[in-house]
Amino acid sequence: MANLIIVGAQWGDEGKGKIVDLLTAHFDIVARYQGGHNAGHTVIIDGRKYVLHLIPSGILHAQKQCAIGNGVVIDPIALKQEIDGLAAAGISCKGRLFVSNRAHLILEYHRLVEKGDEERRGKARIGTTSRGIGPAYEDKMGRRGLRVCDLSDPDKLRRHLRENIDVKQVGVAVDPDRLFESAHALGTELSVYFADVAEFLNGNIDEGKTVLFEGAQGTLLDVDHGTYPFVTASSATAGGACTGSGVGPTRIDGVVGIAKAYTTRVGEGPFPTELLDELGERIRRNGQEFGASTGRPRRCGWFDAVVVSYSRMINNLSSLVITKMDVLDDMEEIRVCTGYRYKGSLLRSFPPEIEVLAQCRPEYVTVKGWQQKTAGTKSFDELPVAARDYINRLSDLVKTEISVVSTGPDRSETIITPGSRLAAWVPLGG
Ligand code: GDP
Ligand code: IMO
Ligand code: MG
């Protein structure tokens, strides 16, 4: 019986959706705590593919409850689309999806503001997902945001929409009356899902129920700890689970980091181990590295133990999951970054300045590839020796146990390593 946080240990898209789905069977509730529909979490069950954006991946388990915490920014149009899409696939959210009435809203003008911001930045653009995420969090921090609870107060909603449209000078493009009508109508329709999520989660934990916190994005995209300003606008690290859900830190038992056996990044920003050559193309091809939300090609590179060690520290990872092992199956050699050299010296910690990070030269160790099929392998002992060595080496470099190795996108294509801390909390077998 444990409450656990799942967190991305790189730049997002590590395979959190697959691992949340794998673990959901052992929890009562799955909760999102930050980000919004910029996330794209893929789950494949018996060959059928689902991509979740705003709703926790746990919704695919019919008996489980799901919560969207106050730290998430919610576009009501996207929420309705996702609920309707799930219903069309035979998955009902009724009575088991709880959306925080304290969560902030993403509205039409946030997307417009983001478009303008990105255009103004030109070459220095962030490469956002264009979902309005950043501007919605700006309004939250600027204390002019509208929240889910405001949808049921027509006078306040109308007044605030008008004020915000004035402040942002988007009055030509956005008609306040039309926006009010659509937001109010959506709010009324979706109101069956609105709840006090902090009360819901804490009340359930009081009764002995367990919560799996599903992080979105990844540690290096966290607004405080990531490669600022090339980050998202929320707290994508483990700390965000508390502020973003209203569940205190002492109620949470552990943090499980998810990392790929290599590294990817979507959007702009420094990426020390990026491969701009044929090898990078090969990883993209083998791993089908195209964004689950935007379809953009992901930038690919070697595993960076500096990045994942930094994630281990920031999140105090209890355990690490390595995904997409199979993608490296045909590599003759594999490299792992063990340190950064900057102006001739080895750095002792992850640099805060992106200008420094952009000039860091990765120090690599090179290991022999296994050049055998690991795709679909279900036990550690069945892995080729070189693949086992690779996993053990990553574990040593990052100083964290590796409790799960994923060898394919399907739920069943998974290795549980025996005797891990994770296995002590969650009876996974193995
Ligand atoms: P998330 O955002 O962290 O949930 O990850 P995404 O869903 O955006 O991207 C991960 C992609 O890798 C998805 O297409 C998954 O189906 C796929 N995937 C997950 N684990 C594995 C694995 O072990 N092997 C392979 N080949 N694909 C995987
Ligand atoms: P999941 O949960 C990968 C990236 C964007 C951009 C930056 C800021 O699927 O891992 P935003 O629209 O959030 O303001 O964009 O963050 N980004 C992600 N990259 N996976 C994600 O989510 C991401 N969500 C945002 O590409 O670089
Ligand atoms: Mg994703």
| Residue 202 CB neighbours (<10 A) | 17
Element spanning 113, H or E: helix 108-121
Q: Which of 129, 227, 268, 271 to mutate to test the pocket of ligand 2 (most atoms within 8 A of CB)?
A: 129
Q: What per-residue confidence (pLDDT) applies to 324?
A: 98
Q: What is the C-alpha separation between 158 and 61, in angstroms, rounded?
A: 38
Q: Give, in degrees to the nearest 5, the angle at Cα 42 between 84 and 128.
A: 85
Residue ranges of domains in the chain, CATH in brackets? 4-102+193-254 (3.40.440.10), 105-190 (1.10.300.10), 259-425 (3.90.170.10)
State the 10-residue block means of pLDDT for the chain, 430 residues long. 96 98 97 98 94 98 98 98 98 98 97 96 96 98 97 96 90 91 97 98 98 98 98 98 98 98 97 98 97 91 98 98 98 98 95 97 98 96 97 98 97 92 83
Q: What per-residue confidence (pLDDT) applies to 418?
A: 84
What residue ranges line ligand 1, CB within 6 angstroms? 8, 12-18, 40-42, 44, 292, 323-324, 326-327, 406-409
Q: What per-residue confidence (pLDDT) applies to 171?
A: 77
Q: Give exposure, 316-334, as e/b (b: 16+ Cβ within 10 Å).
A: ebbbbbbbbbbbbbebeeb
Give the number of the atom of ligand 1 that is nearest the alpha carbon of residue 44: 16
Closest to 262 (Cα-Cα) out of 299, 222, 315, 225: 299
Which ligand is in closest contact with the Cα of 22?
A: 1
Supply the residues annotated as catalytic: 13, 41
pLDDT in tens, 114-155: 999 999 999 999 999 999 999 999 999 999 999 999 999 999
300 lines ligand 2 (CB under 6 A): no
Q: Which of 10, 42, 415 to mutate to test the pocket of ligand 1 (most atoms within 8 A of CB)?
A: 42
